Amino acid sequence: MSDATQIFSEFLGTAILVLLGDGVCAAVNLKKSKAEASGWIVIAMGWATAVTIAVYASGFMGPAHLNPAVTLGMAMTGNFEWSLAVPFMLAQVAGGIVGAILVWLNYLPLWDETEDQGAILGTFATGPAVRNLVSNTMTEIIGTFVLVFGLLAFGANTFTDGLNPIVVGILILAIGLSLGGPTGYAINPARDLGPRIAHQILPIKNKGTSDWGYAIVPIVGPFIGAAIAAGLFMMLPL
């Protein structure tokens, strides 16, 4: 595939990822939603299936990283060319913005019904259960390490054709259920930054602050986790 096609696939795939992933957060968080207060298991399942569908929808056009941290890890291990890294990351963030705007449109009447500013922001971006930026960053490092190391390990295995996106979805589900509680498991800078930008610019009643003071955590933590995973993988006697 051409470079332009691959870059577009990252934009499209990340937009679908955020549309479905933030969509489940909106379904659970917003007042008068039919899925209101359905809980963490629903959110974790929603994000896992969002990743699976997004990979299927974009993977025939490119590698379907859909995550700047994954792009970094793949480039570090030689599985991806460095020259496309920045264009991929920009496309991923842009896709995150568009996906979040589509979530806003999909739930348009429900925003006015919701007064909880934290619930509104939580439909777009991640936030800590207990705010401690060092600890929160560590959580994102650990979660992203598992993600990127898992993806690299999957690449060293042989799966039945078409099965890989499902296995990736299971990996996301495992991370969400086991490691996601402290921070909401961004494990993806574009998944957090793009929707946070959308939250900042959209005319949402009662939305409050976009909490830019926390935004560094889901950017720095995933990049560090991805770099550690890639470094360890390259040290293995394969």
pLDDT (tens digit, 0 to 9) for every residue of the chain, 238 residues total? Answer: 899 999 999 999 999 999 999 999 999 999 999 999 999 999 999 999 999 999 999 999 999 999 999 999 999 999 999 999 999 999 999 999 999 999 999 999 999 999 999 999 999 999 999 999 999 999 999 999 999 999 999 987 766 667 889 999 999 999 999 999 999 999 999 999 999 999 999 999 999 999 999 999 999 999 999 999 999 999 998 7
With beta carbons less than 8 A apart as the criterion, state whether 18 and 95 touch: yes
User: What are the two backbone dihedrals, phi and then psi, of residue 61, each rounded to the nearest 5 degrees?
Assistant: -105, -15
Token pair for residue 76? 């570090």
CB 110 within 8 A of CB 26: yes
* Domain 3-235, classified CATH 1.20.1080.10, yes or no: yes
Q: What does the DSSP 8-state code read for residue 84?
A: G
> What burial letters (b/e) apply to 98-108, b meaning 16+ CB within 10 Å?
bbbbbbbeebe
Which helix or strand (DSSP H or E) is residue 158 part of? Answer: none
Task: Indicate whether this model's pTM tops 0.75.
Answer: yes
Q: What is the DSSP letter of 114?
A: -
Is residue 192 classed exposed, middle or buried when 0-12, 13-18 and 19+ CB atoms within 10 A define those classes?
buried
- Tokens 């799966």 — which residue? 159
